Structures are given as C-alpha cells and as structure tokens.
Amino acid sequence: MPRRISIRQSVMAADEKIANRLRRDLKDRGILMVNLIGSPGAGKTTLLESTLAGTDLRSAVIEGDIATSRDAERIARTGTQAVQINTHGGCHLEAHLVEKALEELALDKVDIVFIENVGNLVCPAEFDLGEDYKVAVCSLPEGPDKPLKYPHLFCEAGAVLLTKIDLNKHIPFDRELFWGDVSRLNPNAKKIEISATAGDGMQEWKALLSRWLGEKR
C-alpha cells in the first residue's frame, strides 16, 4: 500500500515542522516539555497527580484522551492548569493539537509542560509533538514482556518508568527480564521504579525532571 504510506508521510512531515517550531519556541522561553506515553491504565494521571503535589516546579498539563475530560478534571483539582484534548477516536496526539492546547495555557510562569498522551503503547511513539523527551510509563501488572513486544516506544524514550511497583507484593514480576530488555533496546534511557501512591521513586523522578530542565536552560 505505497500510496497510503506516502500520504501518511506527508501529513507527518507537515506535523514535524510544527513540532520543531514548538520545540524552538519552548526552548526560547526556558520551558521543558515531556510527553508521557503508556497503555490505558498504566497510571499516567496518578503519576502526574503525585508529581504535581509538593514540587517547586511550576507546571501545566495537556491531557489527551479519545473521549471525556475526566483526566483534566483530576489534574485541575491539584491546582495545576490543564487543557483537555479529545481526539474523538484518534489513537494518538499530533503536534498541531498540542500547538492549539499550548495557546490556551498561561505559560509565562511555567517551567514544565507535561503531555499525557492517549493511552496506547503503540501509535503515540511515532509522533513528534515538539517534546524534549518521551517518557515510557509501563505498569507492573502489565507484565515484564512489554518492552520486546512493543519496542518502538522503549527505543525512543528518554526515561522508562515502571509504575505500581507496590503491587509486587501480590503480583510476581520478572524485573531482570523487564530491565534487561529495556537496557538492550535503549542503553541510555533513565530507568526508575515508581509507586505514585506509596511514594517510591518519586524523588528520583522529580530530580530527573529538574536535571532535564537545568540542561535546557
């Protein structure tokens, strides 16, 4: 189906230009943008809620969902400004959607913009949204075989977060397999185990965000 591929590539090329423009604009303003990608239910929103609580970093959040504004409402309850994008069936966010969402945010006092992508371990990995880093969010109950079965995101990610590790008391999980596969796919990815509810790993995650922000400024 070469015809389909060529159209798709031209659409992606147009979006790539927008992504590069967003990245330049945000660099000029000293703002870091992080694109969180993971399966439905991987714990992305809960991770954000914990990240936003008790941090010095001034944040804004762009929530991507096919339908509902539940996640943006959860973020807004933390006191952080949030914009909801509904893709109405679309399986991933694209840069032109992020561009519109950024226009709705008051960015003059913001250090970090978090994008929570549509819950999907596959398609969002292919799209550049103008972010500085993609972050792979994989939860322990999904099982340790995910990196090799869904390699693209794990190869692209600046960091891989294994979430819900408090459940390891009840669910067996082969850490060596999981982290071994991650390291083979992407030796440079920062690797953090997190329980957003119990607090494990949150300091390390926030320190990584601060380091990324410092490197940008």
Of 35, 81, 120, 186, the one binding a copy of itself by CB under 8 A: 120
Q: Judged by CB under 8 A, does residue 146 bind a copy of itself?
A: yes
Minimum separation from the CB atom of position 144 to a copy of itself (A): 10
Residue 3: exposed, middle, or buried by beta-carbon count in 10 A (0-12, 13-18, 19+)?
A: exposed
Q: What number of chain residues touch a copy of itself (CB under 8 A)?
A: 39
Cβ atoms of residues 61 and 75 within 8 Å? yes
The correct pick among 82, 121, 161, 165 for binding a copy of itself (CB under 8 A) is 121
Give the shortest CB-164-to-a copy of itself separation in angstroms.
7
Binding flag, residue 70, a copy of itself (CB under 8 A): yes
Sole binder of a copy of itself in the list 17, 29, 30, 68 (CB under 8 A)? 68
Residue 109 CA to residue 74 CA, distance in Å, equals 21
Rounded CA gap, 43 and 128, in Å? 22
d(C-alpha 146, C-alpha 208), whole Å = 23
52-60, 107-115, 144-152, 203-211 -> range binding a copy of itself (CB under 8 A): 144-152
Q: Helix, strand or coil for residue 152?
A: helix
> Which helix (H) or strand (E) element contains residue 136?
strand 133-139
Which CB sits closer to a copy of itself, 134 or 164?
A: 164
Does the protein bind a copy of itself through residue 128 (CB under 8 A)? Answer: no
Tell me the C-alpha distance between 113 and 117, whole Å: 12
Q: How far is the CB of 149 from a copy of itself (least distance, A)?
A: 5
Q: What's the per-residue H, E or C state across 21-41? A: HHHHHHHHCCCEEEEEEECCC
In the 8-state DSSP scheme, what is residue 14? H
> Residues interacting with a copy of itself, by CB under 8 A?
1, 3-4, 7-8, 11, 39-41, 65-68, 70, 89, 91, 118-123, 126, 139, 141-143, 145-146, 148-152, 164, 167, 169-171
